Structure 1
């Protein structure tokens, strides 16, 4: 059992190193490295951005803005977090730039190819109701819920992406759950 954990931890460490090398190649101007990152992360980033924006076209535009920002700022990556965490942070900042002052999105179906499998909450309650309830959350709570439940990031990783303390992540999740519960209860009544 201990050997298995060591092997899994070793594979994860190697994967993180490989991703950091790909990002370093992006920083050196290697366009094929940017394509590699896109192929690895377009799905999860698109699903994340779609759930923040609520509109497929807007999410695609934000993803393009994200890739441009990654191209321009890859040299600022310092390996303090996983590349995936850094990418979600870049995407989040691009989404905030684009969505400032925009009203919450209307409920809609997820885009094709983005997050094809429903998360545990969607399976338990039903995707349409969850999407409608997510749309009613303030952006700060929505992004924590999406990163936690639908992108399966840990509280620590969410804190890194959002640049907030872990306690704030927990607090936002608590408030978001209460709001979501209320929204779902309303629909079931």
Structure 2
């Protein structure tokens, strides 16, 4: 009797595993670029962002059965990314030398669009995490105020205030900057 039950359940187990593999592959295909991009904004380092994204999808595979609503997949993955980023600070780290990233990059070798992207990244990086995170969730992922509030476990009014302040800080920073030499001749 024991053997016959195992023989009957083996095809079902294989079918379940194949189904889980298909769900996982669809998840990775749909969200890998967004997850990497968000990890990069958090870590500001390509290799660290790759590690965070990889660990995110590994944890997603392990917990895929817990994802009941496919519509919540992106939000679920964002939560995993945030936790993975926080975990890297829990680990013992070597002394980190602070440096001005903008000073190390010779922007003259980039195309104009790359210069603008670098400038936007630098401006976003200049915001404190409490303002940067909701703004990135809105700009990159297109989340609404309600979705951001749920994602960050905040009140919607708090999120809207932080978005407002983040935008104002960016405007103030941009208005105080002298125009980049060579970009505009007036």
Q: What is the TM-score with the length of structure 2 in the denominator? A: 0.66
1:186, distance to aligned residue in structure 2 (A): 2.9
Query: How many residues end up aligned between the 2 structures?
Result: 150
| Secondary structure of the structure 1 residue equivalent to 2:69 | coil
Note the residue ranges of structure 1 that are not aligned, 5 or more in a row: 1-24, 110-121
Does residue 41 (structure 1) correspond to residue 28 (structure 2)? The answer is: no
| Counterpart contact for 1:155–1:170, Cα < 8 Å | yes
| Structure with bigger gyration radius | 2
Does residue 56 (structure 1) correspond to residue 46 (structure 2)? The answer is: yes
CA distance in 2, matches of 1:87, 1:179: 29
CA distance in 2, matches of 1:157, 1:40: 19
Correspondent of 1:88 among 73, 78, 81: 78
Does residue 74 (structure 1) correspond to residue 53 (structure 2)? The answer is: no
| Counterpart contact for 1:130–1:184, Cα < 8 Å | no
| Counterpart contact for 1:104–1:136, Cα < 8 Å | no
Indicate how the Cα distance of structure 1 residues 98 and 172 shifts in structure 2: closer, same or farther if over 3 A, else same: farther
Which runs of structure 2 are paired with 1:17-28 in the superposition (5 Å)? Answer: none
Greater length-normalized contact order (CA 8 Å, ≥ 6 residues apart): 1
1:63, distance to aligned residue in structure 2 (A): 0.4
User: 2:122 aligns to what?
Assistant: 132
| Secondary structure of the structure 2 residue equivalent to 1:167 | helix
Correspondent of 1:168 among 158, 173, 179: 158
